[in-house]
Structure 1
Amino acid sequence: MENQIFNIPSKLPIYNAKLNAVGIDLGTLECCAFVVRKHGPDGVVLDEFTAQRTLPSNMNLSQLNFCYGQIAINRMDINAQFSIFDIKQLLGKTFNEIVIDPLWPFEVVDYGNQISLTCGKFDEETLIFGTSTALCSVLLKFMKQKIEEYQGTILSEAVITVPSSFSEKQKEATIEAAEIAKWKSIHLLPEPIASAVAYSYEIEIPNRSTFLLFDCGGGTTDICIAKVCDNRIKIICDNGDLFLGGKDFDKLLINYFNSVLKHMYEVNVLETNKKYRLMIKCREIKHNLSTYENDKLDVDDFKFDDYSDIPITRNEFEDMATDLILRAKNLIAESLRNAKFTSANIDTVFQVGGGCRMPMIKKMLKDMFPNAEHKCSIHPEELVAKGAALYSYSLKNETM
């Protein structure tokens, strides 16, 4: 993506809502969708259970009742064999290219030139849910339905974002999944560009300034160094890690609490279906430690009639995450070297993705770029979809 140039869409006082501009962030852990209405980008409520604009990328595909988002997460405790998640990490890959996660309730099998997922039993027969592309299309189809309900019309065109580190095969698989979901016209947009477009809508980025965009999502981390010149974004360097994201911080907590439960309470949660409950609880604790200095795990969630708890502090969590933070720092340093820059060349650091809510991420960025201006949106996890919708609007507006 280096040396590519993208126009920054003009911010308008009034938008033409009839253009039905749609932007979709198909995330590893959460999905988000925005449309452009009269007064600008507007988030679509995707999760029926929580009424939130972000939808956990979880599906429960029991033959009796398909469900998506938070309900699918809640059912993992009792119905884990029908659960699908982390599908984006499998999209467009062969069997030899993936890393099996022991928390997956499904089995990944080699299916010719791509992979297939098998899980669950119905009438004692194993269900073969299909390829990663086909399963991704199920999620995209559900999102399409929710966006159409919100817009009150049938839609056929969307901008879908992808990590800058996605291979051509992964991009092709994303397009194929969208086509199966009945999106007829699909435009792929790198996630860092979508985020930069969203920030340009929220604030005025000075002309001839250089920015670094750090996007820590649920499954991946993207870095983009770019210059703004005459209302255009010129990419100088982009970099990414497909195996560094919020879920890696979750795993630190999962392993820690499971170790304590195993040695102090004689409960090995990772050998039971309660490992999904632990996964959910650890994600909540991670979020809480971004706001509070300490939190705890209730033991009675995993061992009947034991009302003790396992405390944890933010400092302890940050100590666990030292290696992950080092990986992120090395990724930034590599990006600066590729761009032939130093930290002094960066005027602004834009923070994107839910991972940027963690104080340790903010501190790392501030330490590495002490003289830069640091910007983090109120809803950093929505920026990618928001920027994609604005970019979609600019594409549609050009064809008018």
Structure 2
Amino acid sequence: MSGELSMIGSVILALFLAGYLGQQYLPPPKPKVIGLDLGTTFCSVGVFHPGTGEVEVIADEQGRKSIPSAVSFTATEVLAGHEALELADSNAHNTFYDAKRFIGKLFEPGLLEQESARYPFKVINNNGSAEFVVFTNRSFTVTPEFIGSRLLLKMKKMAELQLGVPIQKAVISVPAEFDERQRNYTQRAANLAGLEILRVINEPTAAAMAYGLHKVDVFNVLVVDLGGGTLDVSLLNKQGGMFLTRAMAGNNKLGGQDFSQKLLQYTTERVRQEFGVVPTLKEDIHHLRQAVEAAKLNLTLHATATVSVPLHLHSHQASGGPRTSAVLFRTVITRALFEELNEELFQKILAPIKTVLAEGHLGKEDVDEIVLVGGSTRIPRIREIIRQFFGKEPNTSVDPDLAVVTGVAIQAGIMGGSWPLQVSAVEIPNRHLRKTNFS
């Protein structure tokens, strides 16, 4: 009997030893569940690596860790991401972006017309749902979830290329204010891309997980998410391992694109002052917009940025005939000038912050952590405004562009049973919550 027990003990010890050695020396299994951030302006995909416990945000062939949320139709193909964005000016009627604003949403006819007026592509109302009209060698319509599916398919292929395994399952993030219909249509977009969604997680909760706040003793977390096109502010209350969204507010017409537009208007006026005319060629406007966007990004790190763009300006001669002049427009933009141009817009960030605190019945001193999400929160003046309001530094330990996808990837790792398992945060649904919108 004692011999049998000894043998059983030896087998158990051997199994433990084999498991330990396997973890130490054998390559860990490939992740099978990806995390997806289908953003309004940019999208990202990430995975949680078993064994190391590290999150990898997957880059494309050029090393870029996010792709523009744009899809463009030509007569022969459908392009997504950076390739689509390149056609934003030359193929404006067939290049669709901001589809997330429309997905799963029911519109009154007048409201949809008002929402779609600012886009160069055509949006129609189909029984309350938005659809986009494509004009190539024939005319047809596509749904917002189809646009989303092309972006998700591209990110699925990026992940498969990087990991070397087929991917069929994912966790995806959505804005906290998305209702059941919007969440279902987001999942439908993933299904069209050949993905099964294991869980839908709110973007603020994903961001909090990226910052590791699910593993530390914090209670009240304020998430400021300022991306390219929208501002979302969420107040989270953590109780044990659960996050409850207590209040939400935002501005769906405020973001990095608006800050760039102010700079574009300024540089266009400088061109007029220097050369007597403004750029009218689509290519010139596109190049000037790209240069302005690059300058805005440089000003987050440096005090000055140079805009240098070759232009082909059209004017009229005294005889009445048209004349095209090739010129080099060059100007230096200072951070102080950029802040002056946008100060009124920057100050609008405080309105939804004050609202969520009031609705959550908290003073600003009761907020334990201020989490920044979205590339526009890199702007020094915006961080300064938030710091001055709260009287303390916001948490900047995570790349704000990648905070949501990092948190979603952690959740994907948990859903996929990765080792070592992370402490998971569970969301408490708050179905009575309504988002306050400013404009």
Structures share fold, TM-score greater than 0.5 = yes
Give yes or no for the alignment of 1:276 onto 2:286.
yes
Residue 271 of structure 1: how far off its partner (Å): 7.2
Q: Is the deviation greater in 155-164 or in 207-216?
A: 207-216
Aligned-partner residue type, residue 154 of structure 1: P
| Equivalence map 1:1-400=2 (5 Å) | 17-18=29-30, 20-38=32-50, 39-48=52-61, 50-93=62-105, 94=107, 96-97=111-112, 99-100=115-116, 102=118, 104-122=119-137, 125=138, 127-200=139-212, 205=216, 207-262=217-272, 264-269=274-279, 272=282, 274-301=284-311, 303=313, 304-370=325-391, 372-397=392-417
C-alpha RMSD over aligned residues = 2.9
Q: Is the deviation greater in 57-66 or in 259-268?
A: 259-268
Q: Deviations over 1:237-290 (max 9, x none)?
A: 333332222222222222322333345434444674543333322221211111
SS in 2 for 1:380: coil
TM-score normalised over the length of structure 2: 0.77
* Structure with the greater alpha carbon radius of gyration: 2
Kept after mapping to 1: 8 A contact 2:73/2:134: no
Q: Is the deviation greater in 263-272 or in 154-163?
A: 263-272
Change in Cα spacing, 1:326 to 1:17, as seen in structure 2 (3 Å) is farther
CA distance in 2, matches of 1:292, 1:177: 40
Aligned-partner residue type, residue 36 of structure 1: F
Change in Cα spacing, 1:270 to 1:195, as seen in structure 2 (3 Å) is farther
Kept after mapping to 1: 8 A contact 2:75/2:136: no
Change in Cα spacing, 1:159 to 1:369, as seen in structure 2 (3 Å) is same
Change in Cα spacing, 1:169 to 1:253, as seen in structure 2 (3 Å) is farther
Residue 89 of structure 1: how far off its partner (Å): 2.4
SS in 1 for 2:211: helix
CA distance in 2, matches of 1:269, 1:111: 37
5+ long unaligned stretches in structure 2: 1-22, 314-324, 422-439
In structure 1, the residue matched to 2:10 is none
CA distance in 2, matches of 1:276, 1:92: 31
Aligned-partner residue type, residue 160 of structure 1: I
Change in Cα spacing, 1:264 to 1:360, as seen in structure 2 (3 Å) is same
Change in Cα spacing, 1:174 to 1:210, as seen in structure 2 (3 Å) is same
CA distance in 1, matches of 2:393, 2:355: 21
SS in 1 for 2:177: coil
Change in Cα spacing, 1:165 to 1:315, as seen in structure 2 (3 Å) is farther
CA distance in 2, matches of 1:263, 1:186: 57
Kept after mapping to 2: 8 A contact 1:44/1:147: no
CA distance in 2, matches of 1:321, 1:64: 41
Kept after mapping to 1: 8 A contact 2:218/2:368: no
Q: Deviations over 1:5-61 (max 9, x none)?
A: xxxxxxxx999745523111111221111111131343343433x221211222332
Kept after mapping to 2: 8 A contact 1:129/1:135: no
CA distance in 2, matches of 1:274, 1:30: 24
CA distance in 2, matches of 1:302, 1:195: 45
Q: Deviations over 1:322-370 (max 9, x none)?
A: 2222221011011111111111111221111111110011101110111
In structure 2, the residue matched to 1:5 is none
CA distance in 1, matches of 2:181, 2:264: 32
TM-score normalised over the length of structure 1: 0.84
SS in 2 for 1:291: coil
SS in 1 for 2:115: coil
Change in Cα spacing, 1:46 to 1:239, as seen in structure 2 (3 Å) is same
Kept after mapping to 1: 8 A contact 2:288/2:309: no
CA distance in 2, matches of 1:57, 1:302: 30
Residue 164 of structure 1: how far off its partner (Å): 1.8
Identity percentage over the alignment? 25
Q: Is the deviation greater in 231-240 or in 20-29?
A: 231-240
CA distance in 1, matches of 2:178, 2:261: 23
Residue 294 of structure 1: how far off its partner (Å): 1.9
CA distance in 2, matches of 1:369, 1:162: 27
Change in Cα spacing, 1:315 to 1:120, as seen in structure 2 (3 Å) is farther
SS in 1 for 2:116: coil
Kept after mapping to 1: 8 A contact 2:291/2:308: no
CA distance in 2, matches of 1:251, 1:348: 31
Q: Deviations over 1:153-178 (max 9, x none)?
A: 33222111112233444323212211
